[in-house]
Structure 1
Amino acid sequence: MAPESSATPMTLTAVVASTRPGRVGRSVTDWFIARAAECDDFVSHTVDLRELALPFLDEPHPPALQRYTKSHTRAWSRIVDASDAFVFVTPEYNGSFPAPLKNAWDYLVVEWRHKPAAFVSYGGVSAGTRAVQTGKQVVANLGMLPIGPTVSVPFVGELVEDGAFRPGKVQEAAAEQVLDELARTARVMRLLRDGTY
């Protein structure tokens, strides 16, 4: 019989990385979260960095100490700490990820550790893939485990109709792979964090 902790649904947090006006990131995230809602392994929710509105890192102490002085940091810490897995939905800006995403990562250290990270990227011909490659380096340095499968959306503007993202078969299949791998990895890593693995 599997331990109770491995049977309980896990919390999957999808992070909308783009904060600019006119972005499509929120609609892409809404689609992914709808797919995740069909997966019994997860209870899913979205964190929109535009709504979270973290200021540029303004804590006086290194985040590894967890000596937070700001209410917005403590709120962000609670969200990340309560999550078992993450999906970062990101465009590519100049060969990398948006600055608000790096800022959100940099606020915390301990809360990220031993949790899997997946990426959904979008853009033009490159589909945001360079943002994923550089992002994986950052999350690995935070002690997260970036999984292999990703969702890449080239020419994303062609797949948005009336503000809603309409994925193709390739994106649908990739989302299924991402969710399957996240579920397997997150269960093992939750046992690791609990000290039962």
Structure 2
Amino acid sequence: MTKIGIILGSTRPGRNGEAVTHWVLEHARRRTDAEYELVDLLDYKLPLLDEPYPAAMGQYSQPHTHEWAAKIASLDGFVIVTPEYNHSVPGALKNAIDFLAAEWANKSVGFVSYGSTGGTRAVEHLRLIAGELQMADVRSQVALSLFTDFENFSVFKPADTQADALAGTLEQVVAWSKALAPLRAS
């Protein structure tokens, strides 16, 4: 069975991403096309990148890196839930991505973002990063507005149409994950 990780890309106290990620996971687990699991960056306690060698060398020395690498390697694709901070990606998410290299390759990735402009600028940056890591980013995405999908900018109440956008994103992530399986096997 194809395994998709739903990555909660914020570690900020009081993060809106927790409610968003649980919404994604709830919708995903109603599906039968893949296994879905939550991957919360808070659970991995990654410091600022502290590996002496570039991730592309695969010579990890830290226990937290080995744990993180094992989790990412065990998955076939991802949905990254991300806020937009200062027109870009949260530092904790970028740091977590930068710890690894081969573990990301030949896997699909979709995005669920939130922010004042739906988090779209963070996703644009993540698409560039995904390309460098040989990930296949899917076209469909969910862009949640703090103005219309949250009450008082903090209580998550997505518009009904967002569920359709999420369904499209999950469809594409699973399809691409399955299509890329032969590349991961070689």
**TM-score normalised by the chain length of structure 1:** 0.89
Match of 2:125 in 1: 134
SS at match of 1:148: strand
- Preserved CA contact (<8 Å) 2:149 2:156: no
- Is residue 17 of structure 1 aligned with residue 9 of structure 2? yes
State which of 40, 43, 48 in structure 1 corresponds to 2:40: 48
Where does residue 174 of structure 1 map in the other structure?
Answer: 165
- Tell whether the 8 Å contact from 1:15 to 1:89 is kept in structure 2 after alignment: yes
* Match for residue 146 of structure 1 among 129, 137, 155: 137
Letter in 1 for 2:118: A
| Counterpart in the other structure of 2:101 | 109
Deviates more, 1:46-55 or 1:137-146: 46-55
Q: Residues 122 and 156 of structure 1 are in contact (CA less than 8 Å); yes or no, is this contact kept in structure 2?
A: no
The answer to whether 1:37 aligns with 2:29 is yes
Aligned length: 185
State the alpha-carbon separation in 1 of the partners of residues 112 and 147 from structure 2: 12
Match of 2:110 in 1: 118
Please give the alpha-carbon distance, in whole angstroms, between the structure 1 residues aligned to 2:109 and 2:147. 22
Q: Which deviates more from structure 2 when the two are superposed, residues 81-90 or residues 38-47?
A: 38-47
Please report how far the alpha carbon of residue 147 of structure 1 lies from its aligned counterpart in structure 2 after TM superposition.
Answer: 0.6
* Offset, 1:157: 7.7
1:118–1:146: 8 Å Cα contact kept in structure 2?
A: yes
How many angstroms apart in 2 are the aligned matches of 1:169 and 1:186?
A: 27
| Unpaired stretches in structure 1, ≥5 consecutive residues | 1-8
Which residue identity lines up with residue 14 of structure 1 in the other structure? I
Is 1:74 aligned to 2:76, yes or no? no
SS where residue 90 of structure 1 aligns?
strand
Q: Secondary structure at the match of 1:112?
A: coil
Deviation, 1:49, is 1.3
Name structure 2 gaps, 5 residues minimum: none
Structure 1 runs (4+) greater than 6 angstroms displaced = none
Question: Shift in Å at residue 97 of structure 1?
Answer: 0.8
1:46 is displaced (CA, Å) by 1.1
Give the SS at the match of 2:173. helix
SS in 2 for 1:175: helix
The code of the aligned residue for 2:24 comes to F
Aligned mates of 2:145, 2:155 — CA distance in 1: 16
CA distance in 2, matches of 1:62, 1:152: 32
CA contact (8 A) 2:78 2:109 kept: yes
Higher helix share: 1
Cα deviation, 1:14-51, whole Å, max 9, x if unaligned, reads 11111111211011000001111011121111111123
